């Protein structure tokens, strides 16, 4: 890269151009932010930087980072991600409370102080402060870009303008990428609905007709055992295909209704010929949590169907002591514990982890089984 | 005298398959086929079949409305719904309209034959697909649902007993 004095018109234009190009390149938010951050640091001759993305409530995410000092980087950047204690983070707090009035502000880093108070020999690379640049879109807070370098210098007037304009661009890019993904989710749902309808309207009817016809042939071919056998095979195959089709259609169909979770799980259980008791309170869950619970519920119902040797099960979603509890129980044979590594159990475990839920299994031979997610 | 059957479905491929299969049974005779409710009504009034095998979702007049009309005008004719929907929005109105049976289009054809024979002779046996039966059970059950079959309310609330 050519060296320009930081206040030169050429330099500013050059940085601006590079960043615009980077932000324009991808629809992967992490990839985009990461390469934008790296380029910016390099061009502005700074050592360290990171980007927080803000979500509803107090939720935030470390979306990208570059050359964090060991004190911040250790244990998978634990100190950069912790939710507890983040109320002490000066930059996020001041931003949330609207006290980050200036476009770029130098702030003492609470996380670095924390790291030092935990271990006074923690390696901070000599960093104590960072510059915080708010990322906003249409006035709403999207995230925070933090920049630091040992012996943090003051930015020149032109650099401040540059950072301000880059912050606007990053904000708009975050918004663009979020909208892009929302749009593709919508398209996927639409396409799935269409597929389900097509399968239902044409393929399923034809398979049923096929199964009827093969039975007819079977009946007419009494004296021709070779044909009878073949017709039986066709009949069995078409029955199997019908069942599979049924479950495919069911999986494809997006669920509507007032209580999609309860509805979905009930239909799933009924479809398998089980007698479910479902009591799900309508809770303001996020789409991700709702989807995970649906998938976990389906898996659990299928396990009851396959292993429990009973057709009764109970699924309860309720609030207990400010937390949410999702419980699936059956009075069947139990005994899942000898095989906790089975794929189904494992995938439930993983899904539970994804939404930050604790997963416990109670299962005793001959005494049923209970799965609990809290 | 074989049992006379009228088939109603908007999918011709299903009608053809049904007729082919049912005609292999000596005790059944397919007397007509219709593609929608209106056609089915007119044909049924004409041929007065013992049993009608009726699809639920059809363009024009659906199977539920047609069943209600036919049950009024041909009270002796038995009507079996044959559809791919086990949704409660279809099952419950169909039973209320007077359907004598409700089967799904993933049923084993032999079982469908059993249903027709049993329903024709006025028996309830085999009339409902297991999925339809459990759908009905769930929605007829009290507010608490069939919970008493599983655990008492007290036990359900208890945190994990070791």
User: Where in chain B are the domains?
Assistant: 3-157
Residues in A touching B11 (Cβ below 8 Å): 205, 209
pLDDT at A256: 46
Q: Which of A198, A200, A208 to mutate to test the interface with B (most CBs of B within 10 A)?
A: A208
Nearest by CB to B17, from A208, A270, A279: name it: A208
Candidates B72, B24, B20, B23; CA nearest to B45 is B72
Would the pLDDT of A210 be above 90?
A: yes
Paired sense of beta strands A48-54 and A60-66, if any: antiparallel
8 Å CB contact of B84 and A204: yes
- Model confidence over B28-69: pLDDT tens digits? 999 999 999 999 999 999 999 999 999 998 988 999 999 999
Nearest CA distance, A110 vs chain B (angstrom): 40
Q: ipTM strictly over 0.85? A: no
Candidates A302, A284, A316, A299; CA nearest to A351 is A299
Strand partners, A61: A53
Q: Which residues contact A326 (CB under 8 A, 6 or more apart)?
A: A293, A296, A297, A315, A316, A317, A357, A372, A373, A374
Are B53 and B8 within 8 A, CB to CB? Answer: yes
Q: Which of A267, A275, A313 to mutate to test the interface with B (most CBs of B within 10 A)?
A: A275
Nearest by CB to B160, from A235, A313, A372: name it: A372
Angstrom CA distances, A174 to A54, A94, A142, stand at 11, 21, 8
pLDDT at B6: 97
- Model confidence over B83-130: pLDDT tens digits? 987 777 788 889 999 999 999 988 899 999 999 999 999 988 788 988
Tell me whether B145 touches chain A (CB under 8 Å): yes
Residues in A touching B110 (Cβ below 8 Å): 215
Inter-chain contacts counted by CB atoms under 8 A, chains A and B: 100
pLDDT at A258: 47
* Higher pLDDT, residue A366 or A329: A329
Would the pLDDT of B7 be above 90?
A: yes
8 Å CB contact of A270 and B134: yes
* Higher pLDDT, residue A163 or A300: A163
* Higher pLDDT, residue A227 or A3: A227
- Please report the domains of chain A, with CATH numbers, ordered by start residue: 9-183 (3.30.450.40), 256-374 (3.30.565.10)
pLDDT band at A337 (very low <50, low <70, confident <90, very high): low
Nearest by CB to A200, from B16, B84, B134: name it: B84
CATH of domain B3-157: 3.40.50.2300
pLDDT band at B155 (very low <50, low <70, confident <90, very high): very low
Lowest-pLDDT range, A6-20, A217-231, A354-368, B17-31? A354-368
pLDDT at A19: 94
pLDDT at B102: 95
Q: Which of B21, B33, B58 to mutate to test the interface with A (most CBs of A within 10 A)?
A: B21
8 Å CB contact of A219 and B13: no
- Model confidence over A83-95: pLDDT tens digits? 544 556 788 888 8
pLDDT at A76: 82
pLDDT band at A103 (very low <50, low <70, confident <90, very high): confident
Rounded distance between C-alpha atoms, residue A231 and residue A214, angstroms: 5
Tell me whether B110 touches chain A (CB under 8 Å): yes
pLDDT band at B159 (very low <50, low <70, confident <90, very high): very low
Query: Average pLDDT for residues B69-92, to the nearest whole number?
Result: 90
pLDDT at A171: 93
Would the pLDDT of A141 be above 90?
A: no
- The secondary structure of A185-242, three-state, reads HHHHHHHHHHHHHHHHHHHHHHHHHHHHHHHHHHHHCCCCHHHHHHHHHHHHHHHHHH
pLDDT at B152: 35
* Higher pLDDT, residue B6 or A360: B6
């Amino acid at each position: 890269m050519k060296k320009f004095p930081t206040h030169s018109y050429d330099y500013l234009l050059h940085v601006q151009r590079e960043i615009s190009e980077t932000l324009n390149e991808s629809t992967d938010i992490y990839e985009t932010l990461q390469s934008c951050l790296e380029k910016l640091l390099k061009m502005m001759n700074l050592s360290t930087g990171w980007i927080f993305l803000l979500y509803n409530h107090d939720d935030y995410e470390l979306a990208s980072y570059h050359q964090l000092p060991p004190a911040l980087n250790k244990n998978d950047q634990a100190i950069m991600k912790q939710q507890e204690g983040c109320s002490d983070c000066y930059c996020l707090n001041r931003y949330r409370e609207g006290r980050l009035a200036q476009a770029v502000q130098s702030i003492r880093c609470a996380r670095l102080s924390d790291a030092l108070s935990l271990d006074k020999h923690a390696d901070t690379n000599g960093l104590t402060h960072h510059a915080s640049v708010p990322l906003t879109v249409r006035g709403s807070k999207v995230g925070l870009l933090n920049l630091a370098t040992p012996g943090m210098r003051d930015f020149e007037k032109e650099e401040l303008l540059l950072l301000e304009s880059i912050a606007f661009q990053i904000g708009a890019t975050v918004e663009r990428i979020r909208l892009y993904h929302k749009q593709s989710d919508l398209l996927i749902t639409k396409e799935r609905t269409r597929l389900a309808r097509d399968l239902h309207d044409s393929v399923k009817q034809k398979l049923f007709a096929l199964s009827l016809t093969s039975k007819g042939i079977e009946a007419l071919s009494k004296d021709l055992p070779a044909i009878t056998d073949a017709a039986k095979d066709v009949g069995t195959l078409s029955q199997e295909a019908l069942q599979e089709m049924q479950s495919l259609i069911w999986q494809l169909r997006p669920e509507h209704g007032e209580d999609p979770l309860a509805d979905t799980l009930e239909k799933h259980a009924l479809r398998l010929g089980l007698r479910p008791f479902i009591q799900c309170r309508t809770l303001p869950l996020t789409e991700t949590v709702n989807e995970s619970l649906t998938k976990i519920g389906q898996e659990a119902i299928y396990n009851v169907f396959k292993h429990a040797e009973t057709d009764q099960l109970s699924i309860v979603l309720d609030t207990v002591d400010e937390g949410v509890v999702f419980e699936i129980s059956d009075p069947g044979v139990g005994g899942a514990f000898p095989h906790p590594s089975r794929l189904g159990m494992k995938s439930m475990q993983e899904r539970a982890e994804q939404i930050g839920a604790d997963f416990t299994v109670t299962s005793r031979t001959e005494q049923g089984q209970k799965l609990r997610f809290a | 005298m074989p049992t006379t059957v009228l088939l109603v479905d908007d999918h011709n491929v299903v009608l053809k398959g049904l007729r082919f299969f049912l005609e292999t049974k000596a005790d059944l005779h397919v007397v007509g086929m219709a593609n929608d409710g209106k056609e089915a009504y007119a044909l049924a009034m004409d041929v007065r079949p013992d049993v009608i095998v009726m699809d639920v979702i059809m363009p024009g007049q659906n199977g539920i409305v047609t069943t209600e009309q036919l049950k009024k005008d041909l009270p002796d004719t038995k009507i079996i719904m044959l559809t791919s929907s086990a949704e409660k929005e279809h099952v419950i109105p169909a039973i209320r309209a007077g359907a004598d049976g409700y089967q799904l289009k993933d049923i084993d054809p032999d079982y469908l034959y059993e249903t027709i024979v049993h329903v024709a002779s006025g028996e309830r046996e085999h009339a409902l697909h297991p999925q339809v039966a459990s759908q009905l059970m769930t929605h007829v059950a009290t507010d608490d649902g069939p919970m008493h079959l599983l655990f008492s309310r007290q036990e359900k609330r208890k945190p994990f007993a070791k």
